[in-house]
Structure formats: structure tokens, C-alpha cells
Amino acid sequence: MRTGLALTLRATQVAGTTAAVVLPALAVGLLQRVRYGPPAGRRHVNRRLVALLMALGPTFVKAGQVLGTRRDLLPRALCDELSLLQDSVEPLDAAQTAVALAEAYGADVAAVFAELDARPVASGSVASVYRGRLHTGQDVAVKLRRPGIERVMAQDLALMRAGAALMARLPMFRGLPVNEVVANMSGAVLGQLDFEREADNLRRLRKNLSEVPRVWVPKVYPEACRPRCIVMEFIPDLAVNTAESCSAAARKRFAASGMAAMYQMLFVDGFVHCDMHPGNLYFTRAAQVVVLDAGFSVQLTDRLRRLFAEFFMNMAIGRGVYAAEIVIQSAERVAADADLPGFTERMADLVVRSHGQSAQEFSLMAFAMEMFDLMRRFGIHAAPELIFPLLSLLVIEGAIRALDPDMDFQEAAKPQLMRGLFGEGGIHGR
């Protein structure tokens, strides 16, 4: 009964906040549409929708971040605005930290840690991170889950699923996988609460990426971990601007290692870190690439991993019809009235045009955006397991371009593509 009442109160709060933001946004958007044209009206509404998600709290922010990757379904302009969402939450204070530690360790805090600084070194909506030291002498980073965050997220996601069920019945959403998209989004958000799985993900990434030179994934200390806390190697002096003060040669090494790590995940291992934004990707003065926070990771099936590799290979050599056929094969759903020959023709043209570009001219982002526009127009809905890794590749493109403007993304992929398709790591070697 108390759970039902809490959900009702939260639903009332969400509905009130939504109405207070959306109704004025639509009115102003209509005025801007009349005065400045349709793009201006849409831009205003999209920005107010992003402001609404931030006002509704961390669950809605994370949901918006995940939904912003679905460029095969949502308008590009809305996805661009959703990509700007920031997970900005006040760090836990001393009292909240004490509660979180008690929930994670009970009376065993002193038995696990020789030292633990109560001031967070980083903070997000799900957890705060602290610096500590184990009794064995290792300096560690302690990722501690916020008290009560599970209840808040469970309530909010229940409301989102109910809203999706209603939307799916509306004529304008027929033919779109509304329930499936929201269910997948819910799984991605809730997955970031599963610290035992995240610790396992870090161990897997550390093992898989040990094959890539100059890539560092922190070691996890399982004996110190708990279901509400991950304890891992502390990596000192991490800063998002380290690369800016390094030599051009070092920056090129950063770029090469970063892309090698990404391609190793995509084409060889099939286990992909899907959140490689600058807050999870760092560079050290020793020319190492540091990968953090594996809570949002996806395991591709062998079939999808191979299809992804084959698509990238055909894209790289300009075989457009084959690339289009792979997009169709890998789709989660194809609309009953989809014009597959029309899609194949336009997709093949996109591949051929891109193949003719130089390394400096070619943009993964521009290619993917045009491909997603085609998929949306022709009713081809991609499997989420492929969308998330692809968007991770697009996220890292900007960072790599800043490090090495001459990076040839297609040429750099060939070693891992060959391994993934034909070598020890590929399906024939398993």
C-alpha cells in the first residue's frame, strides 16, 4: 500500500512538472515556428524537453541519455539535444556517506579499509567515488552507491513503462517499437545499479584490452567489493585535459591506442563499453589510455559481432549493396510496408560516396546520421545491441579527431577486422 501511494505521489509530481514545462514550451514553440520557421520552433521545444528531464531528476536524465542514442527512431535534432544532458548531482555529504558505507559494509568498514577519505573525488547520480587504502597497502578508488537510489529509479522507470504502454496505443506511434525501446532503456539504466555486474565488466575489459598496447583498465579488488560498492585500483592525476599539453607524437599514440581498444571490443571480443565519453576515457602523461566505469556495457552475440564487422568491412571497401543487406539482416524489426529496394539503393549510394572521401573528409558521425535517417524513413529499426556500440564509436570519434586530425578510421580498423572475421578472435577461431 505504501509503495502504491509513493508511486501515485511521484506520478502526480511528474505529471505536474511535465505540464508546467511542456505546455508553455509548445505555445512558445508555435510562436517561434510562425515567426522564424519550423526549425526554430522544434529547437525550442526540444530544448525545453531536455530541461524537463533535468528537472525530473537523475533517472530521467539517464533515460534521456540512453534514448538519445536511438537515432534510428528519434529525430536527429532531438537526439542532438539529448546528447547534451549532463549527469550533474551534488556529491554525498558526510552524513550520507556514513549511511552509504553502513549499507554496503555494516560494521566491517575498518576491517576492509586502512584509510578512507570521506570527501568524494567524483560524483554522479548513482554513486560517489572516494579515495582509500586497503590494509595490504594498495591505494584504491571506492565507488559507493547512493542510499535510496534503487527505490527512486524503480519508481520512475515504472512510470516510464506505463507511459510507453499508453503511447504505443496511439495511432501516431503504431509500427514503432515503443515498448521495446523503453524496456531496453530501462534495462540499460537499471544495469548501472548492478555493481557486481559492473565489477565483472571491468575484469573482462581489463583482460580483453590487455592485448592492446598502452591501454589501462583499473584492477578490481573483489575481496573488498560488496553489492553496493566497487573497489578498484586508484589511478592518480587523471584529468580530461592531459592530452592538450602533450606532444603531437604522444597525441597520435593516444589516438591509435584509443581506436585500437574500441575496435578490439567491437570486432574481436564483442564485449563493448558503450559509454566512452571524456569522463570515462582519460590519457596519462606516460602515453597510456585509461578506460573507466563499465556499468553500461553490451555483449554482442557472435552473429551480431560478425555482422557488425562485415558491415564495417564492406563500408571500408565501398561495397554498398552488401552493407545495406547487412543492415536489413541485423534489424530488430522491419516495417510491413518497408521499401527494401529503395533503402538498399540509397544506402549503397551513401557507402559509395563515403568510400570516395579522403581520411580527413570522412566522418563516422556524418555517415551514421545519414544512415539512421534512411533507416527511420524506410522503417528499419536496428537492434539495440548494435545501436549502443555504434554510438560509442561515434562518441569517441570527436576525441580521436582532436588528437589526430589525420586518423584514417577505416584503415586503422583493419587489424582487428581481420582478426574478428578470419583470425583467432573471429567466429571461425571459436
Phi then psi for 174, rounded to 5 degrees? -65, 140
pLDDT recorded at residue 176: 67
pLDDT recorded at residue 429: 37
Sign of the dihedral through C-alpha 173, 174, 178, 179: positive
> Residue 71 and residue 76: Cα distance in Å, rounded?
6
> Residue 424 and residue 40: Cα distance in Å, rounded?
52
User: Which of the four pLDDT bands, split at 50, 70 and 90, describes residue 384?
Assistant: confident
Mean of the per-residue pLDDT values for the chain?
86
141-157 pLDDT per residue, tens: 999 999 988 888 888 98
Q: Tell me which of 111-120, 140-149, 392-401 is least confident.
A: 392-401
pLDDT recorded at residue 1: 46
Which residues are the active-site residues?
275
Q: What is the mean pLDDT of residues 386-397?
A: 76
Q: Regarding beta strands 289-291 and 215-216, do their DSSP bridges make them parallel or antiparallel, or are they unpaired? A: parallel
pLDDT recorded at residue 178: 77
Helix count and strand count (H, E) for the chain:
17, 12
Helix (H) or strand (E) holding 283: strand 281-283
Q: What is the mean pLDDT of residues 405-414?
A: 86
**Where in the chain are the domains?**
1-83, 237-422
Cell numbers given for 181: 525501446
Nearest to residue 192, comparing CAs of 183, 201, 179? 201
Half-sphere exposure in the Cβ direction for 335 (13 Å, CA):
18
pTM: 0.78
Q: What is the mean pLDDT of residues 7-33?
A: 88
